[in-house]
Structure 1
C-alpha cells in the first residue's frame, strides 16, 4: 500500500516501546512532540522521548511495578502522559487513563477496581484529588507528579517528583545498561497494554483491554484510509483517556511519526492551535458546535458591512456545496480569512467523532473549506472503523469501513432497513477487565453488538440514527430520534445543550440549556440586565430569542417530529452531575430521573413550574436556586390531534 510505504514492519515492531526505540535509532534528531509551556513551544526529539521513556520505565521497575499491574495516568494532555504510558507498556504493565475532570468517586472506583499502585498525576490539582481520597485508595503507593508548582506544602510519603523517578531510572540504567533493551524485546503485540474506559451511561465505566499490536495494526488500517506521515502536524486537545485520542496522539503519533503538539491550557487552546497551523484535527461534536457558534456570535459585534459580507459568503458557499462545488467568490470575501483566523489554513484532513454531529454544523465547516469527515466506532473496536473517503462526504452518514478486513452489518432490521449495528475485525478489544459477564453480553460469536440503530444507504454508507434504547415512539406510534432533533437545535449559537422528550407522550417537548457565553453577550448588547445563568435563562427576552430558534428548527422537521413545548433549564447539563458522559453525551436516564418532576409538569400542561433546589459545585460549595420556569407552548392544538405518520 503506497500510502503506508513509510511505515516500519509492524509485524516486528508490534509494541509502542519497540517503535519509539526504532524511531530514536533512525530519526533521533527529528521532532516527535511539542508542548506549550509559559508561552514557549518546547520540543522533544525522538532521542529525548526514548531517553525519558527509558528512565520512566526503569524507575517504575525500581518502584516494584511488574508485568500485569496497572499504572494510572491523571491530568491534562501532556508529553509526560504519553511517555509515562509507553514506559508502562515497556514494563509490560497496563496503562489506565483517567479523565482529568473525573470526580472523586470515579477516581476512587477506577483505582481500587484495578488495584492501581502507581499514578502519574500531572500537577497540584490532580495530586489534591488523590490525597483527598485518603484511605479510600488502599492500593495506591506512589503518586508521581510532573509540575512541582505548589507542591512544597505536601509531605505525603507517597509523593514523588518525576525528576526523582528519572534519577532512579538512570541509576538502574548505569548498573544494568542492557536491562531496558531486554525489557522492550520481551514486550509482545498480543499482550494487553491499555485499559480504556468506555463512555457508557453508568457512573462506573467498564475498562476495555486493548493489546498493543491490535492498536498498532488498527492505526495502520486507519492510515490506509486517511494517510498521515512525519510532515503532518496534530494538536492534541481531546482527553487522552478517550479512545480516539489514544489512537491519534499516542498510536498514530508513534506509528506514523506525525508530530503531536500539546496546548498550554484549555483557555489558550485556539490561540496555540493557530500558532501550529495543524494539517489534521480531531474535535468532538461539542467543540465543532462551539466554534461554529462562536463565529456566528462574533458577527453580532461586526459592522453592518461585515455582517452582509458574512451572509453573502455563507449563502454562496452553501449553494456551491449543495452542487458539490466550492465558491471562489465566497472564499475570497469570507472563507480564506476565516480559516486563517481559526487556524485551519493548513488542514488536509479533519474529523469528528464520539457522538453525532448535526448536518447543519457539518455543512457550515464543509462550506468553509474544512475537509471534515465523520468517523464512527466504539472503545471496544479500537475506536473508529468507518470514515468518509476522499470527496465522498455525506452529512447524514459516517462513511464506509477503512478496509475489507472490517465487517459491519445491520441485524434485526425493520421494514425500513433500520436495525442494530454489529461489527467485527481483527483488531478489537480483548474483553473487559475483570468483567467476563459484560464481555459475553457485548461480544457474541465474534461480533461486537454496538447498541446503535442504523442502516446502509444506497451508496453503501452507514447511517447512524441513535442508540437503540434512546429511539422513542410517541403515543401515536410515530418513531423519532431525540439525538437528531437535538443536533439541529444545537446548530443555533444560543443553544449549548438540548434534551428532546416525547417517548410514549402525545407530543414532543424540549429542555434547552442556553450557551451562556453567547447569550450573555447578546443580552449585554441589547441592554438586558442579569446576574447569573439562572437569572439570564429566565428572562422573557431570552425566551423570545430561543422561541425563534426552535420555530426555525421545527420548519425543517416533519410535523410529527416538531417540538410543541420547551423550557429553558436553570443550569447547564454537567458531566460532574452525571447528566453527561465524559465524552459529552446526554445520560437520558439520569436526566429523566433528576428532572422528572419538571418533565411531568410540562406534560400536565402547567405554564409555570416553580423550582427550589440546590446545586453542588466541584469545589464543594453549594448554591440554592429558587426560580420559576416558563413553559412555552408553540402549538396548543397540535397535542390534541394525531399527526399523519411519515416514513422513517
Structure 2
C-alpha cells in the first residue's frame, strides 16, 4: 500500500521521482483509506477523530481560502499552533496552495516569534485560541502579516475561522504545483552556528526521507502512533506526521509529556509506535520502576529478578521482556512495541533498561538541515549505543584532523540536504561546501558501519593537560541516575589561573524529586 503512490516511484540508487510537481499530499493521501482515522486528539469524552477523507477536504478548503485571498505561490505562511489535527490541516492546506509552511514553536519568546514572522516575511499565520493573542497583541510589529486564520471558532473580526470556511461550500480552486526542488518548509533553528536561521527544505528531500523511513523501520497501515514532540520540529513533522500518514497509520495527539498520561493514551489508542526523545523515555522507565516499587515486597522481588534475568538473556541474544513483563505491556495496551529516539543522545543504560522490559528502541541521528534524519537503527539492523547506519542514498564522511584520529567532524550529502538558509547566503556558505553539509558534530564509524556521536565541536572542553572532554558524554554518564532529572555540563575558565591554562568541567544538576522519599527531601 502506498498512500503517496502518485508522487514517487520506488526508491533506487539515484533516488529519482516521477513527478515534477509539488508534494501534492492531499489528493493522493486518501487512497483506499477514506474513512480510516488519520488523526485523533485526546478529549474529555475520549477521542476527536479526523478521517483521511476529512483531512483531504479540510486541507483543500484551507488551500481554496489562501488562493481566493490572493496569496501567491511560494508565499510564506506561518503555523503557530499546538499539536492537534488542525495543525496538519493547516500544513497540508499551505502546501496544497503551493505556498511555503513556516512552523513556529509557540513556546518561544515573543521576541523570537516576531523575529521569525518578520524574517520569513510571512503574510499569513495559522493560529489557535491558545496562540492568537501572541499575534494580535503585537500586530503593529508585523508589517508583512496580512491574514490570520484560526483553527478554532472565533469572534475576532481580524481573524478568519477554519470551521466557518468548512461550513461554507466554496468552489474548488486549483494551482499548478512547483518542482520537487522548490521549497516546501522553512523551519527556524539555531543551526550549526548558533544564530536563528530559516532552513529551506524542498519536496524532494521530504519525499526521500518519508519513503526511506517507512521502508527502513517497517511502518505499515497496521501501526498507530502517539505524537508528543512539537510539530515545529522536523523530527516530529517527518517521523511523527508525514511518515505515518504515508504508510496509512493513525496519529494520536496528546497534550502532555507526563509518563502516566502518555501510557494511558497509548493504551486507549492501541498505539504501536512513538517518536520520542531520551527525556521522555527516561520518564517512562522511571514510571515503570515506581509502579514496581509500589507493589508488595514479593512482587517487587519478582520484578527485580525478572529484570536482571532479562538483561542477562539479552547478552545471549534472547529477548524475553514481553514474556517476563506482561503487566507492563498491558499498561501500554498490549500492541505497543517501538520507540524511535532522536533529538538528543540516548544513554545506553536507559536503552538497555527499556529493551530488558520488552520494548524495541531505535536510536537515530539527524539535524534540521538534513530534513532531518541521517541515520537510524532498524529492527533488523541495530546496535546499542550507536545511531545506526546512514539511510540508503545518503553519504556520510568523517573529517579527521589527522589520520591517527579516531573521530572527526561528520559531513553528509544526499537528497535530504537543505537548499540553504533563507535569505542568508553567508551562513549557507559556512556549512554547505561543495554539496557537503558540515554538521559541527563529532563522531566515528565502528567496524560494523554503525555511526557513533561523541559531541559537538563548539561544546568541546579542553582541560589544562590538553585532554579533550565532550560534556555530552559526562551528561550521559551522570544522567543514568534516576535521581537526576536534568543535567548540563560545560567548561569554565578557572578564576585563579591564566586564561590559556584550559578549562574545568562544571555541571548544573536538577534533581528528580519524585525519586526521593519524603524523609530524604530538604525543605
Partner of 2:163 in structure 1? 163
Alignment of 1:114-193 (within 5 A): 114-123=120-129, 125-148=130-153, 155=156, 157-166=157-166, 170-171=169-170, 173=171, 177=172, 179-180=173-174, 183=175, 185-193=176-184
Q: Is there any run of 5+ residues in structure 1 with no aligned partner, and where? A: 531-648
Instruction: Specify whether residues 64 and 237 from structure 1 end up closer, same or farther in structure 2 by C-alpha distance, changes over 3 A only.
Output: same
* SS state at 1:463 partner: strand
Distance in 1 (CA, whole Å) between partners of 2:394 and 2:503 is 42
Alignment of 1:314-463 (within 5 A): 314-327=307-320, 331-333=322-324, 335-343=325-333, 345-403=334-392, 405-414=393-402, 415-463=404-452
Is contact 1:466–1:481 with CA below 8 Å preserved after alignment? yes
Q: Which structure has greater helix proportion? A: 1
Which sits farther off after the overlay, 245-254 or 108-117?
245-254
- Residues 1:43 and 2:49 are matched in the alignment: yes
Distance in 1 (CA, whole Å) between partners of 2:164 and 2:36 is 27
Decide which of 71, 85, 88 is 2:77's aligned counterpart: 71
TM-score, normalised via structure 2 length: 0.89
Decide which of 507, 510, 516 is 2:507's aligned counterpart: 510
Distance in 2 (CA, whole Å) between partners of 1:502 and 1:94 is 40
Instruction: Specify whether residues 352 and 528 from structure 1 end up closer, same or farther in structure 2 by C-alpha distance, changes over 3 A only.
Output: closer
Distance in 1 (CA, whole Å) between partners of 2:355 and 2:465 is 37
Q: How far did 1:202 drift?
A: 7.7
Cα deviation code 1:147-184 (max 9, x no counterpart): 33xx55xx4x422222234356x33x1xxx4x33xx2x
* SS state at 2:140 partner: helix
Distance in 1 (CA, whole Å) between partners of 2:348 and 2:457 is 20
* SS state at 2:200 partner: strand
Instruction: Specify whether residues 417 and 528 from structure 1 end up closer, same or farther in structure 2 by C-alpha distance, changes over 3 A only.
Output: closer
Instruction: Specify whether residues 98 and 320 from structure 1 end up closer, same or farther in structure 2 by C-alpha distance, changes over 3 A only.
Output: same
Decide which of 224, 244, 248 is 1:233's aligned counterpart: 224
* SS state at 1:440 partner: helix
Distance in 1 (CA, whole Å) between partners of 2:228 and 2:7 is 30
Partner of 1:591 in structure 2? none
Is contact 2:346–2:385 with CA below 8 Å preserved after alignment? no
* SS state at 2:222 partner: coil
Partner of 1:87 in structure 2? 93
Partner of 1:296 in structure 2? 289
TM-score, normalised via structure 1 length: 0.73
Cα deviation code 1:508-540 (max 9, x no counterpart): 442211124x14xx242x27463xxxxxxxxxx
Distance in 2 (CA, whole Å) between partners of 1:302 and 1:16 is 56
Is contact 2:455–2:470 with CA below 8 Å preserved after alignment? yes
Q: How far did 1:106 drift?
A: 1.2
Distance in 2 (CA, whole Å) between partners of 1:43 and 1:433 is 36
Is contact 1:264–1:272 with CA below 8 Å preserved after alignment? no
* SS state at 1:27 partner: coil
Q: How far did 1:51 drift?
A: 1.0
Distance in 1 (CA, whole Å) between partners of 2:140 and 2:340 is 42
Q: How far did 1:217 drift?
A: 2.1
Cα deviation code 1:432-464 (max 9, x no counterpart): 111111111110000000000011111111110
Decide which of 229, 238, 244 is 1:247's aligned counterpart: 238
Instruction: Specify whether residues 482 and 69 from structure 1 end up closer, same or farther in structure 2 by C-alpha distance, changes over 3 A only.
Output: same
Instruction: Specify whether residues 164 and 506 from structure 1 end up closer, same or farther in structure 2 by C-alpha distance, changes over 3 A only.
Output: closer
Partner of 2:105 in structure 1? 99
* SS state at 2:242 partner: helix
* SS state at 1:325 partner: coil
Distance in 1 (CA, whole Å) between partners of 2:291 and 2:25 is 45
Distance in 2 (CA, whole Å) between partners of 1:376 and 1:360 is 18
Q: Pick the structure with greater CA Rg.
A: 1
Is contact 2:7–2:24 with CA below 8 Å preserved after alignment? no
Partner of 1:548 in structure 2? none
Distance in 1 (CA, whole Å) between partners of 2:50 and 2:322 is 37
Distance in 2 (CA, whole Å) between partners of 1:255 and 1:336 is 31
Is contact 1:145–1:162 with CA below 8 Å preserved after alignment? yes
Is contact 1:470–1:482 with CA below 8 Å preserved after alignment? yes
Q: How far did 1:361 drift?
A: 0.6
- Residues 1:30 and 2:69 are matched in the alignment: no
Partner of 2:269 in structure 1? 276
Distance in 1 (CA, whole Å) between partners of 2:401 and 2:382 is 25
Q: How many residues are aligned here?
A: 504
What's the Cα RMSD here? 2.6
Q: How far did 1:338 drift?
A: 1.3
Is contact 2:445–2:451 with CA below 8 Å preserved after alignment? yes
Q: Is there any run of 5+ residues in structure 2 with no aligned partner, and where? A: 9-16, 493-500
